[in-house]
Amino acid sequence: MLSFVRRGTRLQGKQLAAWERLSGRYLMDVPRGDGETSVDPAARLDAAALFGRRAPLIVEIGAGLGDAVVAAAAAAPETDFIALDVYRPGLSDLMRKADRAGATNIRVIEANAPEVFGTLLRPGSVDEVWMFFPDPWPKKRHHKRRLVSPSFADLVARVLRPGGRWRLATDWEEYAEQMRETLGGVAAFAPANDGADGFAPRFAGRIETGFERKGIAAGRIIRDLTYVRR
């Protein structure tokens, strides 16, 4: 079951021009399996080769239009960032923002997160995983599409180093509770949700995106969650 329904991949105008100009610099060429967002299970990511250095590595799942990851990368030039999404127009905007910010510490992967975490990323190779506002799939019959599940948690645990953090945020209360319940039952993770409300304090490294602003405008409460890899 995929966590997304793929929207248009055809780029036009500025997005097409940015894709053509900037892919060579930012986009990782992913060996594919079956399908255009798939990953060849035999492929492995060599972060040192990708970035030309060894540095702490943060992977953002579902980077969307890229605002959070570009701001974070510009603020932390000593850390490397991989932005992951299946939404090509968003990735094109992200690359444009990275270029404008002069960020050399970002690479983009256009692929399905469970496959990237299942095989492409090496075990214990990642310092932090970020997942901000994953699609909430509010209808009950769609809940099975949600990315946060015990099996996906195992894949995140596989790639995080001991002591590494998985940071999540959502504006969907019932998904926040599902995340807390699901991840609280995963032995590989120690919860660090030490805010007064039983969630984590707002992560200071997370800027407010348009997506978050819409949630707030609609009267929703934003929840942060944090888990430490044991």
Is 211 assigned to a binding site? yes
Q: Which of 46, 135, 194, 197 is catalytic?
A: 135
Q: What's at 206, amino acid-wise?
A: R
Is 60 assigned to a binding site? yes
Is 105 assigned to a binding site? no
Minimum CB distance to ligand SAM smaller for 7 or for 230: 7
Respond yes or no: is residue 135 known to be catalytic: yes
For residue 9, the minimal CB distance to ligand SAM (Å) is: 11
Q: What distance in Å separates the CA atoms of residue 59 and residue 117, rounded to the nearest whole number?
A: 10
Is 224 assigned to a binding site? no
For residue 76, the minimal CB distance to ligand SAM (Å) is: 18
Binding-site ranges for ligand SAM (CB under 6 A): 3-4, 61-64, 68, 84-87, 90, 112-113, 132-135, 147, 209, 211
Q: What distance in Å separates the CA atoms of residue 57 and residue 186, rounded to the nearest whole number?
A: 23
**CA dihedral sign of residues 158, 161, 166, 167:** negative
DSSP string, 30-57: PPPSSSTT---TT----HHHHHTS---E
Q: What distance in Å separates the CA atoms of residue 155 and residue 223, rounded to the nearest whole number?
A: 23
Is 144 assigned to a binding site? no
For residue 230, the minimal CB distance to ligand SAM (Å) is: 25
Backbone angles phi, psi at 80, to 5 degrees: -100, 145
User: How many other C-beta atoms lie within 10 A of the C-beta of residue 80?
Assistant: 24
Instruction: Give the list of residues 6+ apart from residue 74 with CB closer than 8 angstroms, or none.
Output: 101, 102, 103
Instruction: Give the list of residues 6+ apart from residue 129 with CB closer than 8 angstroms, or none.
Output: 58, 59, 60, 61, 156, 159, 160, 164, 165, 166, 167
Minimum CB distance to ligand SAM smaller for 8 or for 52: 8
Minimum CB distance to ligand SAM smaller for 108 or for 183: 108
Minimum CB distance to ligand SAM smaller for 110 or for 127: 110
For residue 138, the minimal CB distance to ligand SAM (Å) is: 12
- Annotated catalytic residues are 135
Task: Detail the residues annotated as belonging to a binding site for substrate.
Answer: 139, 171, 209-212
Task: Detail the residues annotated as belonging to a binding site.
Answer: 60, 85, 112, 135, 139, 171, 209-212
